[in-house]
A and B are shown apart, each in its own frame.
Chain A
Amino acid sequence: MSGLTHLQRLEAESIHIMREVAAEAENPVMMYSIGKDSSVMLRLAMKAFAPGKPPFPMMHVNTTWKFHDMIAFRDQQMAELGLKLISYTNPEGLANNINPFDHGSAYTDIMKTQALKQALDKYGFDAAFGGARRDEEKSRAKERIFSFRSANHVWDPKSQRPELWRLYNARKNKGESIRVFPISNWTELDIWQYIYLENIPIVPLYFSAPRPVVERDGNLIMVDDERMRLHPGEKPEIRNVRFRTLGCYPLSGAVESDAATLPDIIQEMLLTTTSERQGRAIDHDSAASMEKKKREGYF
């Protein structure tokens, strides 16, 4: 009988995946989005190549609208671990002041999807680790761990390669690339439990604190800097809030909470009644919206 716990089995699988990519890809990169899933992925990468460093850089696609705490945390982590970080922003998007207030879903496309494709092309990365999990969303549940993209970064769910045993086929033709999801089989609870067990640092925004927010369309939006456009009548008020997912601050809904420790957060997560991605505006469009975005090159 095997004495391995579920977390040990998941950890071993993720590490195995990372080493395969490091060995077979010519120029891999790890997408680092600063959230809790990225934190776990980063820890796994450190373990996979210990006592050495991961043989690939981290990359953050920076929309310029991330929470300030996230950027500070990112820089501190990279310095502490001695890792190389590439921060990329879509220059045209920046020049045209593409922002979440005026541009809606075009904003996500230009500052995230297009930016990601540009960055991968610019540096010639042929494999990119992402922290997506299969339990997040229906189309993710069917995506392979090694997910191929055409030279135009397009995902074709109908022609996915079979993945058997621990064998991953990382071969590709010139111009094609792979998105690799080493934590595919982790659930949200697994992530939290691992963070707790391994004492992994996470962005303070996950913990409750008094923060200035406005209530908008049923969401609590944090006023993270002076760029936040207030609607007539809106007045920031200080409430005890925290975030269950992190992204661009004008698009991330906070929840009112007093959970200030990891066990508190996990307890709240386990008792809560709405699923994780609801705080993210991107999924609301339609049932097939994530699949469509993914086909277009979104992570």
Chain B
Amino acid sequence: MAHVSDLIETDIEQYLQSHQYKSLLRFITCGSVDDGKSTLIGRLLYESKMIFEDQLAALEADSKKMGTQGQEIDFALLVDGLAAEREQGITIDVAYRFFSTDRRKFIVADTPGHEQYTRNMITGASTADLAVILIDARKGVLVQSRRHSYLVSLIGIKQVVLAVNKMDLVGYSQEKYDAIVAEYLEFAKQIGLENITPIPMSAFKGDNITDNSANMPWYTGQPLMPHLESVPIATENPDAPFRMPVQWVNRPNLDFRGFSGVITAGTVKVGDRLKALPSGKESSVASIVLDGPIPQATSGQSVTITLTDEIDVSRGDILSAAGSPPGVSDQFEATIVWMNDTALLPHRPYLLKIGARTVSANVSAIKHKVNVNTLEHLAAKSLELNEIGICNISLEQMIAFDPYAENKDTGGFILIDRMTNETVGAGLIHFALRRAQNIHWQAVDVDRNARATQKSQKPAVLWFTGLSGAGKSTIANLVEKKLYAINRHTYLLDGDNVRHGLNRDLGFTDVDRVENIRRVGEVSKLMADAGLLVLTAFISPFRAERQMVRDLMGPGEFLEVYVETPLNVAESRDVKGLYKKARKGEIKNFTGIDSPYEAPEKPDIRVDTTTMSAEQAADHIVKVLEERGMLTGDHA
């Protein structure tokens, strides 16, 4: 590897000294499928002499075997990593590449251009200081170029290079270039994108990459590489008010109690007054530790801070400048980018991670979604993969935050699916919502225990779930009869009595199913509060909603009863003739046919209707209730 610097050969120590102080620029490349992103990155690696001889030899061999550039070196092969991608000839995931010059070290996120991979672009962009937006000079500004630019603007990248590529294929025409740049700048203004540096180039031929191209004497600006080497890095914000999300409480012995984290904004020095959020307690900085004590630290550094007072601070809290603390709220408006095949549904509980805090959250409303191609606002009941929506979010507890535009680390969050643990969404906080009203629970002297004890029972919800035709209602009915016979107080909620009244306005889409269950859950909760044994019989196909109801109830009060019947058995019974209609396509979204059923993983009670009669199943359930002490009052 021949680094340009002669110092390597003549004075290595001098070289190391000078390279110690290099800065780091992280950037992304984005463009449409054939705009030449991978070729550009390959070219940058090649020009910065980051390609070893053995790699170059392998590349030449690969180029002949599977390259798309005839006998010439196909730089794209350098960066198209995974075997599956190499076969398909497209980049399907974010790949990180590294190169350095005498002035800077660079980390490039190569992000896919194809529409369905918006989530990868957002991922790559979230850590980038700069974006290179590629445009094929032959094609001009495409729908995809607009989408990528919108995402770049959304994620808040402060520097943009407009790389008008493949100039060799338009005869290095200044006219073409000027027209593209003019059209782009007009669009960029609409989406508030600033600091745009247009550069005409050919990544394939090497024009305007490291040196000014003789083919385009009319271009007087800097070539790409010198621009990347000198552009200001605006990502860390040392001038903003101090913020440090606490990741870890460091307590190696009784004499040391420090709070560790990355400083995400501002600077801190010994003696500074800090405020911990959300508690609002204040103290002063006693010491700052890296490996040893340091007098001050700045945005971007990972440090440990000790305070002069013993105030309660734990993981997830934010230490901030006392004079300008972040906001605290449990309701926000935010932009959400959805990243999962399973759609975002309002009221479905997710986990939200922001800084080092993870809390339970749900989207209380989707105000609208954004068509990223036209920027139109559209009404939405759910967000599908790669859709972007403006949403209201409601959290289970208060958190400290900043608007994303002011601080990406205290204003950006991810949403996590509670069942699969996948990262399903990314969010950018706009502002806190004023709490519509503070609803305080009326404290009453006659509480649920008193009511239940009066009835010689413990309140509970028996949640029957299973396919249509499994026998949920039949068994639940029998259970209720048996409980009534022994003087217990019950109520049975089933699809029929609820769908005709309370939930008359709901259909059978995923969104409506979630809302259906939410309402049934809330009603069950009120009835349990009244001391009743509540039985519900709903297909309730999604685990997340059953979990949602479980979370509403006190510990041990939610009993999931899985009425297990194989689909073919349920379908052969077809008491109401529904399966037949569903198979004919007359009923849409029918569970088991064209809508999924997620079986319980650990039901509290399981009854198998292929081996038990309804009567036996009901007896079994009553027996479990007895064993669990549900049929005795507290002081019985």
A binding-site residues for B, Cβ under 8 Å:
1-13, 15-16, 19-20, 22-23, 46-53, 134-135, 138-139, 141-142, 157-158, 160-167, 169, 171-173, 184-185, 187, 189-190, 193, 196-197, 263-264, 266-267, 269-275, 278, 287-288, 291-292
Contact = CB atoms under 8 A, between A and B. Distances in A.
A141 B95 contact: yes
Nearest to B53: A273
Nearest to B78: A138
Given A162-B426, A165-B412, A166-B409, A20 B300 contact: no
Contacts of B21: 5
Interface of B: 1-3, 8-9, 12-13, 16, 19-24, 52-55, 58, 62, 79, 81-84, 86, 93-98, 100, 104-105, 107, 119-120, 122-123, 126-127, 232-233, 235-236, 238, 247-248, 250-253, 256, 260-262, 264, 289-292, 298-302, 304, 315, 339, 351, 353-354, 356, 408-409, 412-414, 416, 420-423, 426
Contact of B416 (A11, A142, A169): A169
B236 A266 contact: no
20 contacts: A3-B238, A4-B300, A9-B24, A9-B300, A15-B262, A19-B302, A20-B247, A49-B248, A134-B97, A142-B82, A142-B93, A169-B421, A171-B351, A185-B107, A269-B1, A271-B8, A272-B1, A274-B53, A275-B54, A287-B62
A16 B95 CA distance: 21
A268 B88 CA distance: 38
Nearest to B62: A287
B236 A271 contact: no
Contacts of A291: 82-83
Given A22-B248, A270-B1, A167 B413 contact: yes
How would you classify the secondary structure of chain B's contact residues: helix, strand, loop or mixed?
Answer: mixed
Given A4-B236, A48-B302, A271-B8, A23 B412 contact: no
Contacts of A184: 96
Given A6-B24, A139-B82, 11 more contacts: A2-B299, A4-B23, A12-B262, A23-B247, A48-B302, A52-B251, A164-B123, A165-B409, A167-B353, A169-B353, A267-B9
A6 B22 contact: yes
Contacts of A135: 97-98
A2 B412 contact: no
Contacts of B100: 6, 187, 189
Contacts of A15: 262, 302
Nearest to B304: A50
Q: Which of A23, A165, A166 has the most CB of B within 10 A?
A: A165
A169 B416 CA distance: 8
B16 A266 contact: yes
Contacts of B120: 162
B541 to A, nearest CB: 20
Contacts of A270: 1, 3, 8, 12
A163 B96 CA distance: 12
B260 A19 contact: yes
Q: Which of B250, B251, B416 has the most CB of A within 10 A?
A: B250
B238 A51 contact: no
A74 to B, nearest CB: 22
A198 to B, nearest CB: 9
A10 B421 CA distance: 28
B122 A264 contact: no
A15 B140 CA distance: 44
A2 B420 CA distance: 39
